[in-house]
Chain A
């Protein structure tokens, strides 16, 4: 019969056939059981709709998985609720009360303990937002500005500071000489505390009181060490030493049973006792937030009863430079100290710098190629000088540094700013190398070096006058440091064009650091004396040319990695070290100028390193979309420094909101 099919129930053999017949031709039958008979009645044609069923199946799977997925999310997100720092009641920071700055903190914040050698922003030593220093070195005026104390007097034997009697900690205890002595003597108590090396330069610290205004004030006297006789180095360390609350720290030391490494494990990130205008509020791996202290002691006595404008200072932590650049252009970031290429293209996005045209930034340090003066042929003065003549400095500046450097002059004294007095143009003209590849080739030839070219006319290798082949020299530079890499690439090109067999020796960062101190390199790219300090330019000469702690290759040196001027060698120049010794103690300006000039001439004649460009210590770029009235060349009320460093801190008081 059409339409249905009947059979007897219970025929086991035919059981499987039944299911087949039931779906034969994809026609659905309804099964009706009646009296031991099974009647199959044709119902509707099952259309070929695999998708809908598939969808159904998939829907089930999807439902199953989404439940699983939400379960996972619920497991995962609680991990994000870790709160750090003190009690947080504000979780959203209003834009008009916040300054966003970047460029100081790279990587996750680790600790806020001022005794650690590398604490995070804002405890890191150049910063005086939380913990302050005795005085500030104003890099614009080259003067010592007062902070917790003021420079009272400096003689040949003692430097004295008068503490400001108004200085207080956030728990309202006064900041006294006990805190100062503690902070300086911690380096004596524990050898691996930071700043302990000030004791190489001072003999003792004494405290007395003098009359100040209507009352008394404490005076702290640093007795200049007779052996070293180096007040410049003392000032350098003083700019860096933060003053810590002795009552808090002594209690912690007692808790840790005098074990310094245990003390370092304390992160000091919860409601720390500070003296500065800001304190740590909350932090995570993505940012550090500081909150203003309205009861900061300096409001009345240093800033004419004014509070700093931003209530919060937030330092977002970026994983690369370009994010800071994007944020600055969008106006999400107010200030950055990072290197930003092509800064002039960003001006239309509201990004400004100190100078409104090239070089845009105020240089202070000199990246250079350090030469290992113990290796042949780098121990030959003529070879080094030839290298200095072969480099196209203008090119390096334009291509590797975006033109951010003024024209570089020979020698290592900056021809402008604070060091201008010591710079002598005639010395430079007479002794200094300039870009002149012909001169380079001539010097090489005179010294007996011949460059052997290959078939295509390119440099193959060099031989000396004896006919011995000279090994290829490598300039070590860490991969990933793109500006250094670009400079080294260009320098290598120039040197090879002049016939000097040098190659780029890119290496990993770890190897780069490791090889510096022990002298395991031919040449490497570095910035010695990379911080602005009161002892410039002496510290630059010291870190490049000092042979006082000379060690052979393989043992560690902490300065003069190139091992210039080996005291054991017959060619040892005693003038260098004696000049380096006497300059810090000189007070007569004319004598200083003579001494520096002499040192600079020796440098230009011996060329232990190859200075390449001038570079600021930190870059200084800001956005006018959030806050205005940052200092610039036209309005230099503060130096071009990050608002968390040194005298740059004054920026926080002077900026105004953009309307």
Chain B
């Protein structure tokens, strides 16, 4: 597509996509090149990096590289899950609110405010307490998705309401198109590019929130994620003793993921919004 060609002309786009693809490959294909073993003890706890284990071991003697790759997968998975949910819910509500206007708009606005006000952690603990399997990655993804859609709704609503005033909408309405058809055929296509960029931001938010939630101690049970790696490093006082390999690599990976997603978003912005070009 012409769009893709345009995008590829941008150095920032290439850079960010490259970075993102690198992390995804590491997560998905890593197990084929490197034996992932998050269970066995391969050395003393917090063994320093050496030739055999490039990033040393954690506090239980497990190989750090395996943990990082496994954790990367989980974090990306949660981010994607949360991003999809948040974008879907947010877009639907935003389009509906922006397009309809009136009291429906106010109602959806109120619901958005409600979700802002409800404390996330309470919900997280409650729901995880009532399930026997406790907190799984999916549950955390769902909860993050259900609490971060508010931003999407606001942004999409703003766009949708500005689109509402356009002529082709009025024409379509005169022709007798119902609301849903109007929304699907006439508004959404214009919004798609915007929604896609919003989706990228939501994925980034999902990954970052998963890390934060895990570090507070409300992370997923019995799984490894980047946030869990950071949490165990913090709980075992690793950084303060100079055990940097327990902490820094996971931080770097998280930063890289979020940074590449943000940069991707801005580079796409430049293409979709010509005014942003030089």
Contact = CB atoms under 8 A, between A and B. Distances in A.
A191 interface: no
A544 to B, nearest CB: 27
Interface stretch (A42-50, A424-432, A478-486): A478-486
Interface string A211-240: 000000000000000000000000000000
Interface residues of A, number: 28
B47 to A, nearest CB: 12
B60 A490 contact: yes
A506 B134 CA distance: 8
A490 B60 CA distance: 8
Given A322-B237, A322-B240, A482-B235, A399 B221 contact: no
Interface in B48-64: 59-61
Contacts of A395: 41
Interface in B6-56: 39, 41, 44-46
A504 interface: yes
Secondary structure class of chain B's binding surface, majority of residues: loop
Contact of B241 (A342, A479, A489, A506): A342
Nearest to A507: B134
A508 B128 CA distance: 9
Nearest to A322: B237
Nearest to A321: B237
A333 to B, nearest CB: 14
A624 B125 CA distance: 43
A250 interface: no
Nearest to A503: B222
Nearest to A395: B41
Given A399-B61, A489-B60, A508 B236 contact: no
B45 A511 contact: no
B66 to A, nearest CB: 15
B129 A507 contact: yes
A511 to B, nearest CB: 6
B211 to A, nearest CB: 16
Contacts of B125: 508
B220 to A, nearest CB: 9
A345 interface: yes
A342 B128 CA distance: 33
Name which of A345, A399, A489 has the most chain B CB atoms within 10 A of its CB: A399
A560 to B, nearest CB: 25
Contacts, number: 55
Contacts of A342: 46, 237, 241
Secondary structure class of chain A's binding surface, majority of residues: helix
B129 A511 contact: yes
B237 A345 contact: no
Contacts of B236: 341, 482
Interface in A301-330: 321-322, 325-326
A546 B49 CA distance: 50
A325 B235 CA distance: 12
Nearest to B239: A322
Contact of A399 (B60, B129, B241): B60
A282 interface: no
Contacts of A511: 129
A479 B218 contact: yes
B41 A399 contact: yes
A148 to B, nearest CB: 40
Contacts of B129: 507-508, 510-511
A399 B235 CA distance: 14
Contact of B240 (A325, A399, A504): A325
Nearest to B219: A479
B199 to A, nearest CB: 31
A398 interface: yes
Nearest to A514: B129
A350 to B, nearest CB: 15
Interface string B206-230: 0000000000011101100000000
B84 to A, nearest CB: 27
A395 B59 CA distance: 12
A155 B236 CA distance: 50
A66 B97 CA distance: 38
A404 B110 CA distance: 56
A83 B217 CA distance: 34
Interface in A493-550: 493, 503-508, 510-511
Given A325-B237, A399-B60, A507-B134, 6 more contacts: A341-B59, A341-B236, A399-B45, A402-B45, A503-B222, A505-B134
5 contacts: A322-B237, A341-B59, A479-B221, A482-B235, A486-B60
